[in-house]
Amino acid sequence: MSETRRKIMRVLDGETLSPPPIWLMRQAGRYLPEYRQTRQKAGSFLDLCYSPDHAVEVTLQPIRRYGFDAAILFSDILVIPDAMKRNVRFTEGHGPEMDPIDEAGIANLNDEEIVSYLKPVLETVSRLRAELPSETTLLGFCGAPWTVATYMIAGKGTPDQAPARLFAYKHPKAFERLLMLLADVSADYLVAQIDAGADAVQIFDSWAGVLGEREFAAYAVKPVARMIASIRAQRPRAKIIAFAKGAGYLLKDYRRKTGADAIGLDWSVPLEFARDLQKDGAVQGNLDPMRVVAGGRALEEGIDEILEKLGNGPLIFNLGHGITPQADPENVRLLVERVRGSRG
Ligand code: CP3
């Protein structure tokens, strides 16, 4: 029975597998020529996210090429503000943009029918589960409330999320309301992904690293804990990976405080500390994506060190953040082969 369970699900239950299973954040993306081709056919980036035909195709591309142990639903964390009618757009060379929200906007925010607006994404999930090889884990995802809120407040990406940090100090009540609304709709959205066929889900808190200690507790831990409690109240067996990028030492009791099964680690997390975190359950990470761009010894040494330090505990091999467009697809092949060639 346990032999036939999907590897990533076994690691999420705390098993140590040698070699560890592997997938990469942003594994479907611009570094792949076949992605660029489908992306062009689809039109805008959001059209790609909302077209089940195209979204299924790009999700499967890295699975066909590399046989990763997980496929991650192709979508974006900003479909939630799009469903909230914040006029989200992705323009070439600008990154994401939307209408910036203020106190009045938060008071009037649309949090109705979010899941029904996102039906095309849920259709992508169910088609994927039907088309994927049975051994491949299907991951759903969404953004954490803090990270999604940073884009909603600024209306765009910023280098250090100063607009959202400032807004939170000046308007704590409105900000708290925004985070709690996002937590509730995001939890229901993840439940819908699980019901559509996702085996596990990942919550991306990509901007956790700009928060001070007190703010991390209030804006990163509390809303994610609320989401996970809501998901588990609805689907007790749900498996959840939480990735709080840049959180460093604050990850110490992040698992216990949020209830996540696995903790995603960026490449700045020291491997000794990662090993401590592994005593309480699975960790995922944490190769610097620039090592994949560099290739050669930099790639090999980075892989070997992670396998040596973390390979004797529950590990899902991954990068410490998304793969970048300039990565050579051949280096990704070498990465997968080297991880799989390992013996514990
Ligand atoms: O393969 C996968 O990992 C699944 C797809 C996925 C995308 N975005 C596709 C995408 C996932 C899981 C995300 C998450 C996401 N989106 C995050 C959290 C993870 C992270 O990277 O920190 C964030 C912060 C976003 C918001 C976002 N989407 C930004 C800031 C950008 C522009 C930057 C960029 O890389 O261009 C996007 C666009 C985006 N999302 C692209 C892809 C493949 C590139 C757009 C394109 O193809 O034109």
In terms of Cβ atoms closer than 10 Å to its own Cβ (0-12, 13-18, 19+), residue 309 is: middle
Whether 68 lines ligand 1, by a CB cut-off of 6 Å, is: no
Whether 267 lines ligand 1, by a CB cut-off of 6 Å, is: no
pLDDT of 164-220, one tens digit each?
999 999 999 999 999 999 999 999 999 999 999 999 999 999 999 999 999 999 999
Distance (Å, whole) CA 104 – CA 288: 41
The partner residues of 138 in beta bridges, in order of sequence, read 71
The pLDDT of residue 2: 46
Closest Cα to atom 36 of ligand 1:
95
Closest Cα to atom 48 of ligand 1:
45
Whether 148 lines ligand 1, by a CB cut-off of 6 Å, is: no
pLDDT of 335-344, one tens digit each?
999 999 954 4
For the full predicted model, state whether its pTM sits above 0.95.
yes
Domains of the chain: total:
1
Average pLDDT, the chain: 97
Q: Say whether pLDDT at 262 is over 70.
A: yes
Q: Write out the H or E segment, with its range, that includes residue 147.
A: helix 145-154
Q: Is residue 189 part of a domain?
A: yes
**Ligand 1 atom with minimal separation from the 62 CA:** 1
Count the helices and strands in the chain (H runs, E runs). 18, 9
Whether 248 lines ligand 1, by a CB cut-off of 6 Å, is: no
Instruction: Give the structural domain span for 98.
Output: 3-338
Q: Choose which residue among 60, 61, 76, 202 to substitute to test ligand 1 binding: the one with the highest number of ligand atoms within 8 A of its C-beta.
A: 76
Distance (Å, whole) CA 259 – CA 136: 25
CATH number at residue 310: 3.20.20.210
Residues 6+ apart with CB under 8 A from 71: 23, 59, 60, 62, 63, 128, 132, 136, 137, 138, 139
Q: Is residue 291 part of a domain?
A: yes
Whether 155 lines ligand 1, by a CB cut-off of 6 Å, is: no
| Residue whose pair of structure tokens reads 């991880």 in the numeric block | 339
The pLDDT of residue 342: 56
pLDDT of 318-331, one tens digit each?
999 999 999 999 99
Q: Is residue 344 part of a domain?
A: no
Q: Choose which residue among 77, 89, 243 to substitute to test ligand 1 binding: the one with the highest number of ligand atoms within 8 A of its C-beta.
A: 77
Reading the block at residue 250, the tokens are 């604050």
Q: Is residue 343 part of a domain?
A: no
Q: Is residue 281 part of a domain?
A: yes
Q: Is residue 161 part of a domain?
A: yes
Q: Is residue 303 part of a domain?
A: yes
